[in-house]
Amino acid sequence: MDAETAAVLEAIGPRLRRLRQSRGLTLAEASVRAGCSISALSRIETGRRHPTLDLLIPLARTYEVSLDGLIAAPETGDPRVHLEPQRLLAGGVAVPLTRYPGRVQAFKHVLGPREPSLVIHDGHALIYVLAGRMRLILGADEYVLDPGENVEFDSATPHWFGPADDLSVEILHLFGPDGERPITRVLASASR
């Protein structure tokens, strides 16, 4: 086996674990959904067993990702980015624009009408409204943002965001899981 193939196979187990955990599933829940044993899934996640295609296909269905996304096959030279929308449990769709776990993440969200439910978690958020009107509840305060407006806040503050009316809102959401803020670089304009 060549080094590139070995590296791809070694990366599958940790990727499967991250996908399972990001979906809030236990080993037992994921194994039932995928139709495999807990021990087989555990051995694959820890790298003690290489996955077979007959196991990867049901896992891709379980985690709602393409087989290519599950394997992260080597690049083919095609420069196009194939974004994969994901349905959110709270309603709406998110399209991950970056793939760097543990760093600032970028998402495009399309959120439909839903009841507010405040949440708190570690991290820092920056949201830019692309289309529609967004309602933000941040602690005891409430804001309505129009297209082109943005907001930045600490996610440890109780918050909720969604449409300000009965229509969907489309946003660009940058999120730093450990409180990192997106870095803004501004070039000083030369005075004449």
CATH number at residue 41: 1.10.260.40
Same domain, 65 and 90: no
Residues 68 and 181: their CA atoms lie apart, in Å, by: 31
**Residue 131 resides in a domain:** yes
Residue 155 sits in a domain of what CATH number?
Answer: 2.60.120.10
* Structure tokens belonging to residue 108: 């495009």
Mean pLDDT within 162-186: 77
Q: How much is the pLDDT for 144?
A: 97
Sign of the torsion angle spanned by Cα atoms 128, 129, 130, 135 = positive
pLDDT tens per residue across span 62-121: 887 877 777 875 555 566 666 777 787 777 888 777 766 667 778 898 999 989 999 998
In a domain, 112, yes or no: yes
60 and 104 share a domain? no
Q: Is 185 within a domain?
A: no
Same-domain status, 93 and 164: yes
Residue 72, both tokens:
């992260």
Answer yes or no: do 67 and 90 share one domain: no
For the stretch 22-59, pLDDT in tens is 888 999 999 999 999 999 999 999 989 988 888 888 89
Do the domain assignments include residue 125? yes
On whether residue 45 sits in a domain, the answer given is yes
| 106 assigned to some structural domain | yes
Domains: count for the chain? 2
Q: Residue 11: helix, strand or coil by DSSP? A: helix
Q: Is residue 35 part of a domain?
A: yes
The pLDDT > 90 percentage for the chain reads 40
Say whether both 58 and 93 belong to one domain: no
Q: Which domain holds residue 97?
A: 86-176
